[in-house]
Amino acid sequence: MKDTRLNELIKNGFNKPKVLVLGDCMLDIYLDGECKRLAPDVGVPVLDVKTAVHCLGGAGNVIVNLHNMGAMVSVVTVLGDDANAVLIADELQQKGIETTGILYSKNCQTLTKTRLRREQQCLLRYDIGQKYSFDDDMLQLYLLAIKDALQSVDIIFVADYDKGSIPDKLIQMLYQEQQLHPKIIVVDSKDYRKYSCLRPDLIKPNYEEARQILGQHEDEDRVHQGMQWSQQLAELANAHWVALTLDKDGVVLFKRNDPPIHYTVPELKEGNFSGAGDTFLTALCLAYFNGLDQDSAIDLSIKAAHIGIAKSGTASCSCQELAHKISESDNKVVADLNELEALCDRLRKGHRLVFTNGCFDIFHAGHAHYLGKAKTMGDILIVGINTDNSISRLKGASRPVNRLEDRIEVLCALGAVDYVVPFGDAGSDNPIPLLEKVRPHVFVKGEAYRDEDIPEKGLLDTLGTKLVYVEHVHQQSTTKIIQRVQENKQVLKKIS
């Protein structure tokens, strides 16, 4: 399927299938701050919390992903009768998702995972609640509500985290309903054996789940194991498609009556991987519903997961983000300021924007370190790059050594860089015009500027943008590289 057709499908919300989500809804809370001191009374590190964000996790994250990708989502689930359950319900209602299918039990607590983080790195996680539970009366209400919801859906998506929301009687009822009115069934579970009677269309075990289910030992060659295990998992679960995820080692897809295929994934050294599997399976589910071939379906799902991983909270992806990812996969350059402003207005709603700028003339290890560090400050890194004429005004007639198009190509090849914006004219060689359009959450400068009065400071204060300085790599700068070349009597010519 060509990108234009695929983009149209995505922009149309994958034809808006009706999906019933069943499973364990959770609340994810992220407390981000600085950790620079010890508590004097107990001698443990203190996290000074700067921001507190909550979002939906578990089956709740599946709901968010399906909704954001265009599906018409209904949900029947059980929560505790507590304040965190109210937060989950409010979050769903704000997205326009009906919450009458939520039952509230006084016999359990709403499952809540709180992560304490410093610079996007998790220091500690603490959990509230262990399992959801039903008394007999509530179980009957639960099953009746699900049976009623089943009458008007195309897909049943089971997100089973083994937290009690999928009792055996529910699986028995689904089996009976499938005999009468079959639906597409997608299952994410720690144990797929109990779903074999449903003959699921799609399952997504990860490596550790597969290893535990099959009673296998961990091996260094996980791809080889995955190729062997995928068919066994399909037979065990009676599944049509098995997408076995192997983290950095990619995905093995087994399709009934076909040999397994291994798909590689781009290397990701950093990111928030919580919920990435939900995002992957959500996209795969919608691709499967629309009859995409397996190569397109897996590629799309990997892209969706990577969009989610780049975010600071629990991974999620929207159809707009996915369409943009496909159309912009080979073009990170934004040259028009109005286009830049519209792009950043869209991105700012769900992402933390980071901006930095520079000449990036002879790219070196210092640049790589600097940009990698800048990316850790948020979700999206936008890099302003001086034009050739701008560099000549700033550095002298012998610079730049490399032309703008070459310097841009190097930046676009970096995974840390999301967008590149050329700037600099006779009126201004500083990035203030870009900052006015981007309005970033974070502005990154090199350590050498810490004691200087930078022209952007007033605008940053007005925007409420945080200014962060990144240390330099010793002896790594374009100027010093040129000096070393000249000292060795080598010729370094400007490209004309």
Tell me which residue of 148, 57, 158 sits closest to 98, measured CA to CA: 148
Gap between the Cα atoms of 207 and 444, Å rounded:
38
pTM: 0.68
306 plus 341 within the same structural domain: no
Tell me which DSSP letter residue 197 carries.
Answer: G
Question: What CATH number is attached to the domain comprising 57?
Answer: 3.40.1190.20
Is 493 contained in some domain? Answer: no
Note the pLDDT tens digit of each residue in 289-330: 999 999 889 989 999 998 888 776 677 888 888 887 776 555
Is 387 contained in some domain? Answer: yes
Is 460 contained in some domain? Answer: yes
**pLDDT above 70 as % of the chain:** 92
pLDDT at 2 over 50: no
Q: How confident is the model at residue 336 (pLDDT cuts 50, 70, 90)?
A: confident
Amino acid letter for position 369 = H
Note the pLDDT tens digit of each residue in 401-437: 898 988 998 998 888 899 999 998 767 789 999 999 9
184 plus 279 within the same structural domain: yes
249 plus 361 within the same structural domain: no
Strand (E) or helix (H) holding 38? strand 25-38
- Residue among 278, 379, 388, 418 flagged as catalytic: 278
282 plus 352 within the same structural domain: no
Is 39 contained in some domain? Answer: yes
164 plus 64 within the same structural domain: yes
257 plus 355 within the same structural domain: no
* Lowest model confidence (mean pLDDT) among 303-312, 332-341, 487-496: 487-496
Number of structural domains found in the chain: 2
473 plus 435 within the same structural domain: yes
In the annotation, is 278 catalytic? yes
Tell me which residue of 182, 181, 229 sits closest to 201, measured CA to CA: 182
pLDDT score, position 236: 96
Is 492 contained in some domain? Answer: no
User: Mean pLDDT, to the nearest integer, of 167-191?
Assistant: 96
Is 468 contained in some domain? Answer: yes
Is 417 contained in some domain? Answer: yes
Gap between the Cα atoms of 204 and 287, Å rounded:
14
CB half-sphere exposure, 437, CA atoms < 13 A: 19
Gap between the Cα atoms of 259 and 261, Å rounded:
7
23 plus 52 within the same structural domain: yes
- Sign of the four-CA dihedral 269, 275, 281, 285: negative
Note the pLDDT tens digit of each residue in 257-283: 899 999 988 776 566 677 889 999 999
- Return the structure tokens found at 126: 């603490």
Domain extent at residue 227: 3-327
323 plus 372 within the same structural domain: no
Rg for the chain, CA atoms, rounded: 26
Are 45 and 36 in contact by the 8 Å Cβ rule? The answer is no
302 plus 227 within the same structural domain: yes
358 plus 430 within the same structural domain: yes
Gap between the Cα atoms of 217 and 237, Å rounded:
20
pLDDT score, position 1: 41
Number of H helices, E strands in the chain: 17, 18
pLDDT at 455 over 60: yes
Q: How confident is the model at residue 483 (pLDDT cuts 50, 70, 90)?
A: low
